[in-house]
A and B are shown apart, each in its own frame.
Chain A
Amino acid sequence: MEPVVGIPRALLYYHYNWLWENFFNFLGVEVIVSPPTNKQILNNGVSFSVDEACLPVKVFMGHCFEIKDKVDYIFLPRMISGKKREYFCPKLMGIPDMVKNNLSNLPSLIIPTIDLSKSKRNLYPALFEIGKMLGKKEKKIIDSYNKALKIWEKERKQKVLETSIQPKGKGFSQDKPKIAVISHSYTLYDNYMNMDLIKRLQTMGVETILPEMLPSWAIEKGLSTFNKRMYWSLGRRIMGSAKYYFNHPECIDGIILLVAFGCGPDSLIGELIEREAKRIKKLPLLLLTLDEHSGEAGLITRIEAFIDLIQRRKKVG
């Protein structure tokens, strides 16, 4: 019998989904991903975490609770850093310990430490650690990882749309307002957490630009105009894309910045972005904060008002 590995559908799963799933599949291990977030999962998450934790962390707890009885292993990588001199946020670093200390009756946990802040080679010991737990040979691990990485990179490349940063880019309707939604992938693609924001925007007749569509050169270009080096890997995409749009306001009609309550990096990054938007006065910005008490009605009213504003601006020219 092959062991079953469970992956919580939360936090960095939304970023690395194919990489992780395919890696385990190529290793010959069955993977179970927890179901999309629902009320039950969120409520469980809230009750098993400390009040002060941010919403995505609470959701993560809920997902761990959801799958813990269905699998032999839970995959809980400790994500420290993905690149030189960059870090993920402290809560992501500590999340395996938060899970260990707050949930009981857990299956075995696979906790490789992914810390590439000093050298890229640090990845291999982490991979071998996974293999050792599952009883796989080193060669097979590296092969499966490389294969999974290739698929993942290809898939991410396909998402990039160069036209998204052109003033009248192909593939986007010219009459509809173009709004860039900037957020962490785990808030943007968790449809329960953000109350189907993207779908809602689309039904309201808005062309949305997602963070993944921006090519990485645009993000780096945006960041290069920023004074202090951004050391949060996830913050880089947010800050970089916002900065790029501020330098090229003709590309889009507005920005929606979606943040989760209690997110530490976003509290500062959001402030810097908001202040810059106020200073340059060229792009309307809507800052939406999500928490476990968010009501749908309030969200809809705010989005509608924002779209009205953009459409009026468009008419005036």
Chain B
Amino acid sequence: MRVTFPHMGRIDIPGYTFFKRLGWDVIIPPPITKKTIELGSRYAPEFACFPLKINLGNMIEALELGAEVIFMAGGHGPCRFGYYGEVEKTILKDLGYNFEFYVFEPYAGRFKKFFQPICQLFKYEKNLLKIYNAGKIAWEQGKAIDVITKSVYRIWPREEIPGTTKRLYQSAIAKIKKADSVSTIRYIVDDTLKQLGEIKIKKETPLKVALVGEIYAVLEPYMNFNLEDFLSDRGVEVTRTIYITDWAEEQLIPKKIRQKKKIGHHEESKRFACGYLDHFVGGHGIETVGTAVKYAQAGYDGVIQVLPFTCMPEIVAQSILPSISRDYEIPILTIIIDEHSGQAGLITRLEAFIDLLQWKRSKKEVC
């Protein structure tokens, strides 16, 4: 059977490995383009959040390519993400597609609902060792991409010869994609980190900006118009606050088993957000507020929040951020993205934001 799953950042690489090793034929949806978004927003509810529309576009394109089974993740609220599966399934069924649809959800009282997708997943592969290996390699790939990405965006704005880091990054991703054992992946990571260390860098410290917001908007470069690359090219260091493997670790592994000393992203954000937002509000609302405070305290030059239009938890966060901006005297730029957003408008805003940060820093140096 041909299986597919929606895009989110670089999840296609570990996802492909995982399903392939479990004996599925994998169809990765074509990369997100204007057409994907057009398809998605034509059939999705008008006021649904943007990731749902992109997801739907991905699924339609994959079904057109012959996919028969769709896997995706779900939840139990209070954010709308938990309902994506149901809405997307209904829309695709109404469009007349024939497919099986399975949503992985946290356990919530219904035994069958929880185990059915998992049983389907391991339909072809019953050997536990092989299942373990498939998971292990996929996980290592995800982890490797995240580790490399973290260093890349630290080096990129400082590089002396423009383009060196980007080339290295792309070749590393391509290598990870092809790697088929844990040791190869680890070697690639070590090698890439070593090469990154050898890149010639400028002396002056670049402007530092923290990227916070909704997970899909932060992770998916098509959605945020390659914001990280754009800023890095202009010599601004972007610190992304959400990485898919960190998030998955926190969601999947129970607190007790995790290393005790290490505080999770959520716990940490909760502490920092105290006084601004005192309770979780679903999605990444409290993480957005918490990390904004954290990086403001760390002396960053600015914070950028990205969110899809109508995202509920981020709207709560958005209405709190101005207070943080005022209290810490840190500029915060909120970018709301939907299917009508254009790159030119965003670039103008980002350039103005960079100018503001530069001016602010030069003023500080004079004083």
Q: In which size bucket is the chain B interface?
A: 35 or more
CB <8 Å contact, B47 and A262:
yes
Let me know if B90 is at the binding interface, CB within 8 A: yes
- CB of B102, distance to nearest CB on chain A (Å): 13
Bound Cα distance A106, B8 (Å) = 42
CB <8 Å contact, B279 and A80:
yes
Inter-chain contacts of B86 with A (CB < 8 A):
227-228, 268, 272
Bound Cα distance A245, B297 (Å) = 55
- Over the window 315-332 of chain B, the binary record of Cβ atoms lying under 8 Å from chain A Cβ atoms (1 yes, 0 no) is 111111011000000000
CB <8 Å contact, A231 and B278:
no
Inter-chain contacts of B281 with A (CB < 8 A):
90-91, 93-94
Given contacts A267-B46, A268-B48, A268-B80, contact A94 B90 (CB under 8 A): no
Let me know if A296 is at the binding interface, CB within 8 A: no
Let me know if A24 is at the binding interface, CB within 8 A: no
Let me know if B300 is at the binding interface, CB within 8 A: no
- CB of B294, distance to nearest CB on chain A (Å): 17
- CB of A279, distance to nearest CB on chain B (Å): 7
- CB of A7, distance to nearest CB on chain B (Å): 20
Inter-chain contacts of A93 with B (CB < 8 A):
78, 279-282, 316
Count chain B CB atoms within 10 A of each CB in A52, A86, A98, A279 and give the residue with the most: A52
Let me know if B98 is at the binding interface, CB within 8 A: no
Bound Cα distance A244, B87 (Å) = 19
CB <8 Å contact, B78 and A232:
yes
> Which residue of the partner chain A has the closest CB to B52?
A268
- Over the window 76-107 of chain A, the binary record of Cβ atoms lying under 8 Å from chain B Cβ atoms (1 yes, 0 no) is 00101000011111110111111001100000
CB <8 Å contact, B76 and A94:
no
Let me know if B94 is at the binding interface, CB within 8 A: yes
- Over the window 190-214 of chain B, the binary record of Cβ atoms lying under 8 Å from chain A Cβ atoms (1 yes, 0 no) is 0000000000000000000000000
- Over the window 256-286 of chain B, the binary record of Cβ atoms lying under 8 Å from chain A Cβ atoms (1 yes, 0 no) is 0000000000000000000011111111010
Partner pick for A101 among B49, B80, B315, B319, CB 8 A cutoff:
B319
- Over the window 198-213 of chain A, the binary record of Cβ atoms lying under 8 Å from chain B Cβ atoms (1 yes, 0 no) is 0000000000000000
Let me know if A271 is at the binding interface, CB within 8 A: yes
> Which residue of the partner chain A has the closest CB to B315?
A52
Let me know if B115 is at the binding interface, CB within 8 A: no
Given contacts A90-B316, A97-B278, A228-B83, contact A270 B45 (CB under 8 A): yes
Bound Cα distance A279, B94 (Å) = 9
- Over the window 264-293 of chain A, the binary record of Cβ atoms lying under 8 Å from chain B Cβ atoms (1 yes, 0 no) is 110110111001000100000000000000
Bound Cα distance A270, B278 (Å) = 31
Let me know if A50 is at the binding interface, CB within 8 A: yes
CB <8 Å contact, B316 and A97:
yes
Given contacts A93-B280, A94-B313, contact A231 B82 (CB under 8 A): yes
- Over the window 220-259 of chain A, the binary record of Cβ atoms lying under 8 Å from chain B Cβ atoms (1 yes, 0 no) is 0000000111011000000000000000000000000000
Let me know if B336 is at the binding interface, CB within 8 A: yes
- CB of B35, distance to nearest CB on chain A (Å): 22
CB <8 Å contact, B87 and A271:
yes
Inter-chain contacts of A271 with B (CB < 8 A):
44-45, 48, 87, 90-91
Bound Cα distance A49, B108 (Å) = 35
- CB-CB contacts below 8 Å: B96-120 with A: 108-110
Given contacts A49-B319, A101-B320, A232-B77, contact A90 B110 (CB under 8 A): no
- CB of A207, distance to nearest CB on chain B (Å): 30
CB <8 Å contact, B90 and A53:
no
Let me know if A185 is at the binding interface, CB within 8 A: no
Bound Cα distance A228, B311 (Å) = 21
CB <8 Å contact, A91 and B316:
yes
- CB of B268, distance to nearest CB on chain A (Å): 18
Bound Cα distance A94, B279 (Å) = 7
Inter-chain contacts of A311 with B (CB < 8 A):
none
Let me know if A113 is at the binding interface, CB within 8 A: yes
Bound Cα distance A51, B104 (Å) = 34
CB <8 Å contact, B78 and A231:
yes
CB <8 Å contact, B79 and A90:
yes
Let me know if B15 is at the binding interface, CB within 8 A: no
- Give 16 new A-B contacts, CB below 8 A, not counting A228-B82, A232-B77, A267-B80: A52-B315, A52-B336, A89-B312, A90-B313, A93-B282, A94-B277, A95-B316, A98-B320, A101-B320, A101-B322, A113-B279, A228-B85, A232-B78, A262-B47, A271-B87, A272-B86
Please report A residues at the B interface, Cβ cutoff 8 Å. 49-50, 52-53, 78, 80, 85-91, 93-98, 101-102, 111, 113, 227-229, 231-232, 261-265, 267-268, 270-272, 275, 279
- Give me 16 A-to-B residue pairs in the complex whose CB atoms sit less than 8 angstroms apart, sorted by A's number: A50-B319, A89-B312, A90-B313, A91-B281, A93-B78, A93-B281, A93-B282, A94-B277, A97-B278, A98-B320, A102-B322, A227-B86, A263-B47, A264-B310, A267-B45, A271-B90
